[in-house]
């Protein structure tokens, strides 16, 4: 289980074209804690891919909303991450993940 955020969090260089530069926003940066928002991410594959680009052993990924239709047999490897899922489709998100050195918690709602 992950209890704290690693202060050595580093993001690998990501080449983002000008039309996609708004997609990944640094919304908090204080005391060695960085929080990125990618609320425009439209599918689980992209969310997991971007999460795995973060070079840290301590990460938290929050997933919710409606999971896009995709092959139910397809699983995405997610590494060194605490995954928090919420909403009606929280189980579907977890079922699509292959957790590697990771853990998860499911919530009915965030409030």
What would the pLDDT profile of 2-23 be if each residue is shown by its tens digit? 445 555 655 555 454 445 555 6
Write the burial class of residue 108 (CB in 10 Å: 0-12 exposed, 13-18 middle, 19+ buried): exposed
Its pTM stands at: 0.73
What would the pLDDT profile of 22-59 be if each residue is shown by its tens digit? 567 788 888 878 888 887 777 898 889 888 988 888 88
Beta strand 59-63 pairing with 81-86: parallel
Name the β-bridge partners of 1: none
Write the burial class of residue 61 (CB in 10 Å: 0-12 exposed, 13-18 middle, 19+ buried): buried
What would the pLDDT profile of 54-83 be if each residue is shown by its tens digit? 888 888 999 988 888 777 788 999 999 999
Domain-by-domain residue ranges, the chain? 24-107
Q: Region of 89 please: left (phi>0), alpha (psi -120 to 50) or beta.
A: alpha
């Amino acid at each position: 289980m992950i209890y704290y955020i690693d202060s050595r969090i580093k993001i690998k260089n990501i080449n983002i074209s000008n039309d996609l530069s708004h997609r990944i926003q640094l919304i908090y940066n204080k005391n060695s804690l960085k929080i990125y928002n990618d609320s425009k991410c439209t599918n689980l594959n992209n969310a997991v891919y971007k999460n795995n680009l973060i070079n840290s052993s301590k990460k938290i990924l929050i997933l919710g909303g409606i999971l896009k239709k995709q092959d139910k047999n397809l699983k995405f490897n997610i590494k060194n991450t605490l995954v928090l899922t919420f909403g009606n489709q929280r189980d579907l998100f977890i079922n699509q993940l292959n957790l590697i050195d990771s853990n998860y918690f499911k919530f009915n709602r965030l409030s």
